[in-house]
Chain A
């Protein structure tokens, strides 16, 4: 059974950066796309971006381009999302999710538990 386990909750000041991790147990990300999705308080789900290991390529929503870096380590078991220039409206629960296949056009069948990133002065 695949499980995606994230690092713990984070608190950051505006303008700073945060890196969150997502480790797969029971399988790897080697043949699967991994996405990051967030949910701000009282809001819906928002796709942040993804990494396609088989192509070594990352994609992100335009609003995050230049601020978000998504990578997967060489063992393909841990994915990272780093966000810079944090603002208060980046406060959200961040999830990682694995696609059913290697392309970025697959639905997300495994999700992490989500971690809260709080941006506050």
Chain B
């Protein structure tokens, strides 16, 4: 199985900050990586797929990059609604796996 390791697992930031979350895969997954945002009591929301393709309707302050084994999700100009937990997911091979999550909290 492909393991995804996210870092950090927790980060504290302020409105307007730029934050970066890293996701490392245990083996190469080309660009078959997606990012989701998950807030308590809500359904997860697809933000990015193909490592860097923004899902329709997602604000452009979200961006993604990477290929192979290292990927990043960057949120520029952090907004109050962005405080949530973020997960990466690999779609290269079965079983599909998620990273452990990164919780973004208000400083």
Residues of chain A having any CB pair with chain B under 8 Å: 35, 37, 44-47, 50, 59-62, 95, 97, 100, 104-109, 111-114
Assess A106 versus B91: contact at CB under 8 Å? Given A44-B98, A45-B101, A47-B96.
yes
Residues of chain B within 8 A (CB-CB) of A106 are 91
Assess A44 versus B97: contact at CB under 8 Å? Given A95-B43, A95-B44, A105-B32.
no
Interface residues on chain B, size class: 20 to 34
Residues of chain B having any CB pair with chain A under 8 Å: 1, 32, 34, 36, 38, 43-46, 49, 55, 85, 87, 89, 91-92, 94-101
CA A43 to CA B43, docked complex, whole Å:
15
Residue contact B43 to A114, C-beta cutoff 8 Å: yes
Residue contact B100 to A44, C-beta cutoff 8 Å: yes
Residue contact A104 to B96, C-beta cutoff 8 Å: yes
19 more A-B contacts (CB under 8 A) besides A47-B96, A97-B44? A37-B44, A37-B98, A44-B87, A44-B100, A44-B101, A45-B44, A45-B87, A45-B89, A45-B98, A62-B1, A95-B43, A95-B44, A100-B49, A107-B89, A108-B36, A108-B46, A111-B44, A111-B45, A113-B43
